[in-house]
Amino acid sequence: MKTYGLIGYPLDHSFSGKYFGEKFEKENIQNCEYRLFPLENIQGFVNLEKQKIAGLNVTIPYKEQIIPYLDELDSHAKAIGAVNVIQFINGKTKGYNSDYYGFKDSLSHFLPKDFKSKALILGTGGASKAIKQVLTDLSIPFKIVSRKVAFDFTYEELNAKPEIIQDFQLIINTTPLGTYPKVEEKPDLPYEALTENHYFYDLVYNPSETAFMKAGATNGAKTINGLEMLVGQAEKSWEIWNKN
């Protein structure tokens, strides 16, 4: 039996547990299980019986804390400073960031090939760092929007000068605003200044059409939620665990 799994805390609503359980069944993948390892602190990782584990996902709150415990880091995970996949090879551990790959693939399906504008990234948490790295690697210039003044724009600044968003035709929500059950919440943007040339990418996937996406679509923007990214990062995890 090959054991894969997820570390994090708490793990009450795990997408990965359900996803891999269904994948093993649907694709008739034999002798594999996906287990949840809720760890109250990161020390619990040291105590896991690693010789019995074929691969792990890492979720909140350990995506950054796990790094000192790993033998090696993939170059993207290193640049981002966060790990959500651990590969076990010959007793050694290597950390990867599959959010990077999930977002990059999904964005390439969503944006037109000749997209030439700039991007706004809303939020400055862990997911925002992976998105920044993708945009850097795709040579899409970007600015960061935060509630804190230490970044490029605050929401107040954008609302005071709505014309700013004409120059940023890709807007990516990496805040949790709008996630079920607080489905009416959305980032505080001057939505009326949007055009049909705008692309709205929401990392939130529950509900499938968020208030951010609705407000974008109402004002002509094209929209996508975070489900394709989520599935993409899970499939990338599987690929990482099963490559030699």
Ligand X SMILES: NC(=O)c1ccc[n+]([C@@H]2O[C@H](COP(=O)([O-])OP(=O)(O)OC[C@H]3O[C@@H](n4cnc5c(N)ncnc54)[C@H](OP(=O)(O)O)[C@@H]3O)[C@@H](O)[C@H]2O)c1
Q: How far is the CB of 72 from ligand X (least distance, A)?
A: 23
CB of 1 to ligand X, least distance (A): 28
Nearest residue (beta carbon) to ligand X: 125
Q: Looking at beta carbons only, is 5 or 232 nearer to ligand X?
A: 232
SS3 223: strand
Handedness of CA 56, 60, 61, 64 (dihedral sign): positive
Whole-angstrom distance, CA of residue 169 vs CA of residue 47: 47
Structure tokens at 44: 């619990």
111 vs 229 by CB, closer to ligand X: 229
Active site includes 104? Answer: no
Q: Which CB, 137 or 180, lies closer to ligand X? A: 180
CB-wise, 73 or 107, nearer to ligand X? Answer: 107
* Min dist. Cβ of residue 144 to ligand X (A): 8
Binding residues for ligand X (CB under 6 A) = 99, 102, 123-128, 146-148, 174-177, 179, 203-205, 226, 229-230, 233
Catalytic residue chosen out of the listed positions 18, 50, 63, 161 = 63
Which residues are CB-contacts of 231 (< 8 A; sequence separation ≥ 6)?
19, 102
Q: In sequence order, what DSSP letters do the residues of 118-145 get, joined into one string?
A: -EEEE--SHHHHHHHHHHHHTT--EEEE
Q: Where are the beta strands (DSSP E) in 29-118?
A: 32-38, 53-58, 72-73, 85-89, 92-96
Locus of tokens 């005071």: 160
Of 99, 94, 96, 92, the C-alpha closest to 83 is 96
Decide if 37 contacts 6 (C-beta within 8 A).
yes
Least Å distance, CB 189 to ligand X, is: 11
How near is the Cβ of 154 to ligand X at its closest, in Å?
9
Active site residues: 63
